[in-house]
Amino acid sequence: MTTLFTILFDGVAYGMLLFVLACGLAVTLGLMNFVNLAHGAFAMAGGYICAVLVNNSGWPFFAALPLAFVTAAAIGVLLERTLYRHLYTRSHLDQVLFTIGLTFMSVAAVDYIMGSSRIFIKLPAALEGQFDFFGVGIGRYRLMIIVICGLLTVALQLILSKTRFGSRLRAAVDDPRVASGLGINVPQVFAFTFAFGCGLAGLGGALSAEILGLDPYFPLKFMIYFLIVVTVGGSSSITGPFLASLLLGIGDVAGKYYVPKMGPFVIYTIMIVILIWRPNGLFGRAAAR
């Protein structure tokens, strides 16, 4: 029974991490119907920034996290303004080719600068180890992830539902053409959202170094996970990707625990079954135009 709770706990932490990593992708996809396979590269950038600051410059971990966000967002806005925006009207094939190209370049560049081995971020002592909670072993670091990602999710939901920007964003996701007819500056909303999504990915990358492992191949290894979150969750709201992330996280952890030999099959099988059952994702409308 306690192992079940531990699995659930670890799975939720993992899932929430995936959500923070991938939700930016869901929004960019819903808003511009843009397939950004390079999303993981922004996460990697955040992770490495955090690692350099903490390990080499001696920054405290919690001070480095916001900077991971800011740096990834800055890179995001830079690329969006210079490169991405030329591709919104192109075919999906072009978008796929372009973003795979960016991913490859980021992988090789990080490999060149930082080396190819996995890196670790020195954690403060308070986050190490685990404590006992009614017989269930609770990892401190994972608990922190759940708290941070949980707060972020609530904040995102509030921004989307309560603020003026949120309502503009929802209108634009719902139908970009109608939204621009209503006087909403869709490109601007998009640039901002893109940067914010990249920032979240960067933050997620920094947080995930401990759990998922961080090396130059991160964007390729987790590309499929991001795609699963977005296709299974749909891109019309953030609730879909959130639930899909949790499902993926719990499924993956449980699969690795109960049938370790079958490794990633559990996840792929779940994914295939879901897509046979609901070709356009579990939650809401798919990214068709």
Report residue 74 as tokens: 């800055």
Q: Which of 70, 87, 138, 282 binds other proteins (CB under 8 A)?
A: 87
Q: Is 211 near other proteins (CB under 8 A)?
A: no
Q: Which residue do the tokens 């979240």 mark?
A: 200
Smallest gap, in angstroms, from Cβ of residue 104 to other proteins?
A: 3
Q: With DSSP H G I counted as helix, E B as strand and the rest as coil, what are the percentages for the chain, rounded to 5?
A: 75, 5, 20
Q: Which is nearer to other proteins, 26 or 68 (CB)?
A: 26
Residues 5-34 that bind other proteins (CB under 8 A): 29
Residue (of 261, 252, 255) closest to 17 by Cα position? 252
Q: Which of 96, 126, 147, 154 binds other proteins (CB under 8 A)?
A: 96
Q: Which of 92, 118, 122, 162 binds other proteins (CB under 8 A)?
A: 92
Cα separation, 231 vs 209, whole angstroms? 25
Q: Is 276 near other proteins (CB under 8 A)?
A: yes
Cα separation, 110 vs 55, whole angstroms? 17
Q: Which residue do the tokens 């053409």 mark?
A: 177
Q: Is the distance from CB of 250 to CB of 235 less than 8 angstroms?
A: no
Q: Which of 75, 230, 238, 244 binds other proteins (CB under 8 A)?
A: 230
Q: Is 265 near other proteins (CB under 8 A)?
A: yes
Main-chain phi, psi angles of 222, to 5 degrees: -100, 5
Angle at 128 between CA 125 and CA 133, to 5 degrees: 125
Q: Which is nearer to other proteins, 37 or 169 (CB)?
A: 37
Q: Which residue do the tokens 């401990």 mark?
A: 210
Cα separation, 110 vs 46, whole angstroms? 12
Cα separation, 146 vs 84, whole angstroms? 32
Q: Which is nearer to other proteins, 101 or 124 (CB)?
A: 101
Contact mark string toward other proteins, 55..84, x via CB under 8 A: ----------------------------x-
Q: Which is nearer to other proteins, 33 or 157 (CB)?
A: 33
Smallest gap, in angstroms, from Cβ of residue 218 to other proteins?
A: 13
Taken in order 26, 30, 35, 41, the sign of the CA dihedral is negative
Span from 138-146, 172-180, 206-214, 271-279 in contact with other proteins (CB under 8 A): 271-279
Span from 48-56, 120-128, 147-155, 270-278 in contact with other proteins (CB under 8 A): 270-278
Q: Is 102 near other proteins (CB under 8 A)?
A: yes
Cα separation, 7 vs 129, whole angstroms? 16
Binding site for other proteins (CB under 8 A): 29, 35, 37, 83, 86-87, 90-94, 96-98, 100-109, 111-112, 220, 223-224, 227-228, 230-231, 261-265, 268, 271-272, 275-276, 279-281, 286-288
